[in-house]
Amino acid sequence: MSISTHGPIDLIDYDEAVARFDPVFGIEVHVELGTKTKMFDSAPQVFGAEPNTAVSPTSLGLPGALPVVNGTAVEYAIRIGLALNCTIAETCRFARKNYFYPDVPKNFQTSQFDEPIAFDGYLDVELEDGTIFRVEIERAHMEEDAGKNTHVGGATGRIQGAEYSLVDYNRAGIPLVEIVTRPIEGGGARTPEIARAYVRSLRDIFRALEVSEARMERGNVRADVNLSLRATPESPLGTRSETKNVNSFRSVERAIRFEVSRQAALLAAGGVVVQETRHWHEDTGTTTAGRIKSDADDYRYFPEPDLLPIAPSREWVEEIRAGLPEMPVARRNRLQGDWAFADAEMRDVVNAGALDLIEATVAAGASPASARKWWMGELARVVKTTDGELEDLPITPVQVADLQGLVDSGALNDKLAKQVLEGVLAGEGSPQEVVTARGLGVVSDDGALLAAIDEALAAQPDVAEKIRGGKIAAVGSVVGGVMKATRGQADAGRVRALILEKLGVEG
C-alpha cells in the first residue's frame, strides 16, 4: 500500500490538455436502493440511526448467520436495468468478493461477478446545449454496501495518523446497484460535462423509478470515475486512474478536469500514468494517489453457496417493464410539447431544476407561461441571491398558482402580485392571506376610482384637453396619477377605460 501526501502536482491547462490528448472515461455509479430492509436480511434501512442499532446477526456477519435475498431489491435492480435499456439475465448468481477490511463484516462482500442481473444497455444523456450523447452501459449488478469507518484522532480524518477507528455497521448490507459504463470515447473537451450530465441523468432516473431517494449529499449515489488519455482517438487506450467517491455532480466534472490536466502533464513530460485509485478532495479540487491497483488484485470470487441463483421470470420482467414510469427525457419532451416552450426556454427550466415545480403549478391551475414566468423570473432571482435551490423556497406550486389566479381575476396587478409573493416567501401565509393582511387588493370600486380620476384630471387640466383633442397617449400620465393616489392598488386598465369614458373619447 503506498500513500502519498498532498504534494505539488504538475498540471497542464485544461484546454491545452484536451487539445493534445484524447480523454476516455468510464464511470461506476453505486446507488443505494430505498428498500425497507437490507439486501440479505431483515435489519431495517434507516438513515442517521445510533451506530450499530440497525443490524441483525446477518448484517453483523455473526457466526452461523445466513443471507436471504431481498425480493424488492431485485425488482428495483430490474427496474434500473430496464430503464437503462439493458438485457435482464434469465438467471444470475451472487458471488463472494473476498477481502479483509473491518467495515466488511464477513470479510467478503456478496456481490455479482460474472453474472450480473442486467447488461448491455445504454443511456442517452442530454447535454446543456441540447446535444444527445449516448453512454453505453456494460452492466448493472446487485451487491451490498459496507459499514462505515470513522477514524479518530488523526489530523485528516483519514486512517493514516488516526489513534483508533470506529465501525458502524448500520450501512452494512444496504442494497446497492452498481452501474458500470463501457469506456466512453468521443467526448473530447466536453468529457467533464458529459460525465456530469450522465450522473445527473442517472440520479433523475433513480428518482423517477422510485428506487432510491438518490440524495447525493447523503451518499445515496456515489461515483467512481476512471480516466485515461491517449494521443489520438485512433491510439490504444492509455493507463487509467480510478478516482473514488466523487459524490456531487460538480465534483464529477471537476475531478475529470483535474485528472485530464494531471495526466496530460505527466504524459507531456514523458512520464507514465500509474494505474491506481485516487482520492478526490472537494476542498482543493484535486486528487491524490491512493492504493496502487494492479490487475493482480485477487478477490477470489466464487459463487455464493448460501444463495440460490436468481431467475426472474420473463413474465415478471415484462410486468415490471409495463409498470415503469415515464423516463425523464421522454417526460421532458412531452411537457415541452404540452407547454409550447421553446428549446432554450425548456433547457433553462430543466437546468434551473424548475421542471417538477412548473408541472405542479400548471396542475394547480396556472397557465404554463405564467408558471414559467414566476419560477424562472421573480423566484429564480430570489434563489440567485441566496445561492439556494428553487425547490427549497418556502412557497409551494399551489401558492404560485393561486397568486397567478388572483392576477388573472384582476384582483391583483403585477406590481401588487410581487408584493404578495414577498409576503408568502416571508412566511406571512397564503397569497390570499397576504392580500388581506397587507390590504393589497386592486381597487375595483368605480366610485372610488372616479373620485381619484376627478382629482387627477383637476390637477392636470391641460392633459385632459390634449386627450379630448385626440392625443390618447397622454392618458398615461393621468393613469399614473390615479395609481399613485391609490398606492398602486387600482387596475390600470380599468382606470384607463374610465378616464376615456369620462372625457368622452373612444379608446
Partner 1 sequence: MSAESTDLTRLSAATLADKLTAGEVSSDEVTRAHLDRIAAVDPAVHAFLHICGRRALATARDVDARRAAGEELHPLAGVPIAVKDIIVTKGVPTTAGSRILEGWVPPYDATLVSKIKAARLPILGKTNMDEFAMGSSTEHSAFGPTHNPWDLDRIPGGSGGGSAAAVASYQAPLAIGTDTGGSIRQPGAVTGTVGVKPTYGSVSRYGLIALASSLDQAGPVTRTVLDSALLHELIGGHDPHDSTSIPEPLPPLVAAARQGALGDLTGVRVGVVTELNGDGYSDGVRARFSESLTLLQQAGAEIVEVSCPHFTYALGAYYLILPAEASSNLAKFDGMRFGLRVTPDGGDGLAATAERVMSATRGAGFGPEVKRRIILGTYALSAGYYDAYYGSAQKVRTLIQRDFAAAFEKADVLVSPTAPTTAFKLGEKLDDPLAMYLNDVATIPANLAGVPGMSVPNGLSDDGLPVGFQILAPAKADDRLYRVGAALEALLETRWGGPLLERAPELATAANSPVEATR
Query: Is residue 107 part of the contact set for partner 1 (CB under 8 A)?
Result: yes
Looking up cell 490504444 gives 236
CB-nearer residue toward partner 1: 157 or 377 = 157
Q: Contact region for partner 1 (CB under 8 A) — 13-21, 97-105, 221-229, 326-334? A: 97-105
State the minimum distance, in angstroms, from the CB of residue 175 to partner 1.
Answer: 16
Question: What does the alpha-carbon distance between residue 4 and residue 288 come to, in Å, rounded to a whole number?
Answer: 7
Q: Contact region for partner 1 (CB under 8 A) — 119-127, 300-308, 370-378, 498-506? A: 300-308
Query: Is residue 65 part of the contact set for partner 1 (CB under 8 A)?
Result: yes
Query: Is residue 61 part of the contact set for partner 1 (CB under 8 A)?
Result: yes
CB-nearer residue toward partner 1: 26 or 67 = 67
Query: Is residue 302 part of the contact set for partner 1 (CB under 8 A)?
Result: yes
Query: Is residue 64 part of the contact set for partner 1 (CB under 8 A)?
Result: yes
State the minimum distance, in angstroms, from the CB of residue 166 to partner 1.
Answer: 11
Query: Is residue 275 part of the contact set for partner 1 (CB under 8 A)?
Result: no
Task: Please name the residues in contact with 169: beta carbons below 8 A apart, sequence gap of 6 or more.
Answer: 52, 55, 59, 60, 103, 105, 147
Question: What does the alpha-carbon distance between residue 499 and residue 493 come to, in Å, rounded to a whole number?
Answer: 10
State the minimum distance, in angstroms, from the CB of residue 303 to partner 1.
Answer: 9
User: 317: closest CA among 30, 37, 117, 110?
Assistant: 117
Question: What does the alpha-carbon distance between residue 464 and residue 446 come to, in Å, rounded to a whole number?
Answer: 19
Query: Is residue 102 part of the contact set for partner 1 (CB under 8 A)?
Result: yes
State the minimum distance, in angstroms, from the CB of residue 318 to partner 1.
Answer: 25
Query: Is residue 166 part of the contact set for partner 1 (CB under 8 A)?
Result: no
**In this chain, which of 5, 50, 100, 439 binds partner 1, going by CB under 8 A?**
100
Query: Is residue 154 part of the contact set for partner 1 (CB under 8 A)?
Result: no
Three-state DSSP at 292 gives: strand
**In this chain, which of 46, 57, 153, 414 binds partner 1, going by CB under 8 A?**
57
* Cell matching residue 332: 421532458
* Cell matching residue 24: 476516455
Looking up cell 485477487 gives 298
- Residue 250's alpha-carbon distances to 9, 127, 140, 145, 367, in angstroms, are 21, 14, 24, 24, 33
CB 57 within 8 A of CB 209: no
Q: Contact region for partner 1 (CB under 8 A) — 24-32, 61-69, 129-137, 435-443? A: 61-69
Q: Contact region for partner 1 (CB under 8 A) — 250-258, 296-304, 322-330, 376-384? A: 296-304
Site for partner 1 in 77-96 (CB under 8 A): 96
Q: Contact region for partner 1 (CB under 8 A) — 11-19, 59-67, 229-237, 337-345? A: 59-67
Question: What does the alpha-carbon distance between residue 252 and residue 189 come to, in Å, rounded to a whole number?
Answer: 15
**In this chain, which of 30, 38, 93, 106 binds partner 1, going by CB under 8 A?**
106
Site for partner 1 in 394-433 (CB under 8 A): none
Q: Contact region for partner 1 (CB under 8 A) — 7-15, 55-63, 313-321, 379-387? A: 55-63
Radius of gyration of the chain (CA): 30
Q: Where are the beta strands (DSSP E) in 68-194?
A: 87-88, 95-98, 108-111, 118-126, 132-144, 148-152, 164-168, 175-181
Name beta bridge partners: 133. 125
**In this chain, which of 66, 189, 363, 426 binds partner 1, going by CB under 8 A?**
66
Sheet holding 108-111, edge to edge: 108-111, 95-98, 302-303
Three-state DSSP at 480 gives: helix
Query: Phi and psi at residue 386, in whole multiples of 5°?
Result: -105, 0
Contact residues toward partner 1 (CB under 8 A) are 57, 60-69, 96, 98, 100-102, 105-108, 165, 167, 296, 298, 300-302, 305-308
